[in-house]
Structure 1
Amino acid sequence: MRNRSHRSRAVLAFAAATALLGIAACDATGGNSSAPSGTRTRPSPKPTPVWDRSPASMAAVGDSITRGFDACSVLSDCPEVSWATGSDPQVNSLAVRLLGTTGAAERSWNYAVTGARMADLPGQMAQAATRKPELVTVMAGANDACRSSTSAMTSVTDFRTAFQDAMDTLRGTLPRAQVYVSSVPDLKRLWSEGRGNPLGKQVWKLGICPSMLGDADSLDSAATLRRGKVQNRVEEYNQVLREVCAKDRRCRFDGGAVFDYRFGTDQLSHWDWFHPSKNGQARLAEIAYRTVTARKPVT
């Protein structure tokens, strides 16, 4: 009897000590005394990122550059070499890079129109939205500066209004679609690079960007002032693109990468020495892919 009583007292003492240790451990770790015994706290699920670096479909809107104008033959579209949706392996378009060759053929669409200005973009966006793309690419604005004269250039206010309308049109249907916005190219550099080619200058006389390319060989004060006005307007357009895009959490501007790219003669059409060649289209695709797949947006 004495041995059993001694063992009972030992068991009770051990149980009490264990209970005290459990309470102390719970207090030390900030435990919740109301939590059911033996349960584990499940980790919170990771939030869905705002920007998907590998969208499954895409549509392109814009102007002649996105249509591959003059890249294959004179004064003609050549969408197969488009930086955005083209199928030409030498270009390796953004769609091919993101979706693969088959995916690009099945799930990318080009609604750009040669000669389009920013005012035409809302209509193109409405068309693109019908496809429900996960990514929409925008390259527009060159034709707003490439007018018959500097006085005919689209005002900065009208440019901003049209671009905002285009974004609102897309958001009205596809609030979660992503948008890649290219800066307007440096038109003055394109003039500087192309004006040394006699054939190109003859094509320019057919009406390609007269505000910048007219009187291509003239370096007098009037011509210099005219080209400077066009250049300033392009820079103002790019600031608008940056600002409007920055207000949309699912929009990425290229940070001025296309404007800053130093296009050389290899990157220019050998028909008009102004629009991108296949090589130039490939460079545009590289810039777009780098922006779309970056971990963080360009600032």
Structure 2
Amino acid sequence: MTAFTGVVTLTAAWATSPAAVSAAEPWRPVVMVATGDSISAGFNACGWYVPCASRSWAAGDGQAVLSHYLRLRSLDEGITGHNVNLAVPGATSANLAGQMAGAVARRADYVTVLIGAQDACVSEERLMTPVAVYQSRVTEALKLFQAGRPGGRVFVASIPDLKRLWRVGRDNVVARGFWALGRICPTMLARPTSTAAADRARRDRVRDRVVAYNAALARVCAAYGPACRFDGNALFATRFTLDHLSRWDFFHPNAAGQQLIAQRTFETVRDWAGEPVWNLGIQS
């Protein structure tokens, strides 16, 4: 998959640094960075096998999604900016530290993290990232950001339920065709119609690995301190449907799916940012 990099920058004439904002004042980030994999890059959300930054749940500027970026911009008319992000299609937990280094270099005040689906979506189970390794990598990445931007804040999204993806697409012949031709997430999506005990057990084991990754994310975020928020498995528990998936691969979220992610995840940081401006139509 093609790599895609960038940063979301929000500027406000009255804002100097989030560290300078008192506890009584609403939080306003000056620089926002999205990190992670193809989901945060908006891959396949508006074109054939390309990232679509405008439809990223985290950093997109498209009204069809109403991303974290737009919800933050809605809070103050003085906030302006441009939107690209550091998420890279195909990235795994091994790439997160490098992305966080980029966030530090760009003096990020707010970073979103969604990483781990590609740690589980590999050609065979034995190649899935061990939970301890996954936790160590995420810990390293967040420590890097905390050291470089001690006043920054981090939002960590849970990994979506890959078994639900199989469940909503398994009876669709087109979805099964894309999964097979593209060798998409074989650990979960190989032989999607099989009811053999071995295949049922394989799917359960992959789901269990994602559950374990999400538990690791909760632990890492808790250790980071109050400047980190984990979504409490809200994204994992989201009951998305086939209508939320791209018709180019039946794996990545389309615009509706990206909007659903933005809605479910922004709730976790709403009290950081304050209530949205309702007359702009930005609602959860």
The TM-score with structure 2 as length reference comes to 0.82
TM-superposed CA distance for 1:57, in Å, is 2.7
Structure having the higher helix fraction is 1
Q: 1:170 to 1:262 in 2, by over 3 A?
A: same
| Distance (whole Å) between structure 1 residues aligned to residue 246 and residue 144 of structure 2 | 33
What is residue 164 of structure 1 aligned with on the other side?
A: 139
What is residue 173 of structure 1 aligned with on the other side?
A: 148
2:58 to 81, 84, 104: 84
Q: 1:197 to 1:191 in 2, by over 3 A?
A: same
Contact 1:96 1:103 in 2 (8 A): no
What is residue 132 of structure 1 aligned with on the other side?
A: 107
1:71 partnered with 2:48: no
Q: 1:72 to 1:196 in 2, by over 3 A?
A: farther
TM-superposed CA distance for 1:73, in Å, is 2.7
Q: 1:225 to 1:55 in 2, by over 3 A?
A: same
What is residue 122 of structure 1 aligned with on the other side?
A: 97
Q: 1:287 to 1:51 in 2, by over 3 A?
A: farther
1:15-34 CA distance string (max 9 Å, x none): xxxxxxxxxxxxxxxxxxxx
Structure 1: state its 5+ residue gaps. Answer: 1-46
| Distance (whole Å) between structure 1 residues aligned to residue 26 and residue 111 of structure 2 | 13
Task: State which drifts further: 157-166 or 202-211.
Answer: 202-211
Contact 1:96 1:104 in 2 (8 A): no
Contact 1:62 1:139 in 2 (8 A): yes
SS at match of 2:69: helix
1:214 partnered with 2:183: no
For the aligned residue pairs, the C-alpha RMSD in angstroms reads 2.1
| Distance (whole Å) between structure 2 residues aligned to residue 142 and residue 259 of structure 1 | 11
What is residue 271 of structure 1 aligned with on the other side?
A: 248
What is residue 32 of structure 2 aligned with on the other side?
A: 58
What is residue 216 of structure 2 aligned with on the other side?
A: 240
| Distance (whole Å) between structure 1 residues aligned to residue 88 and residue 78 of structure 2 | 24
Contact 1:197 1:273 in 2 (8 A): no
Structure 1 segments (4+ residues) deviating >4 Å:
50-53, 100-104
Q: 1:104 to 1:61 in 2, by over 3 A?
A: farther
Q: 1:59 to 1:104 in 2, by over 3 A?
A: farther
| Distance (whole Å) between structure 1 residues aligned to residue 78 and residue 186 of structure 2 | 40
SS at match of 1:110: coil
TM-superposed CA distance for 1:123, in Å, is 0.2
Structure 2: state its 5+ residue gaps. Answer: 1-20, 274-284
Q: 1:118 to 1:262 in 2, by over 3 A?
A: same
| Distance (whole Å) between structure 1 residues aligned to residue 67 and residue 173 of structure 2 | 30
1:175-231 CA distance string (max 9 Å, x none): 111000000000000111012222222221212111001111112111101101100
* Letter of the structure 2 residue corresponding to residue 118 of structure 1: S
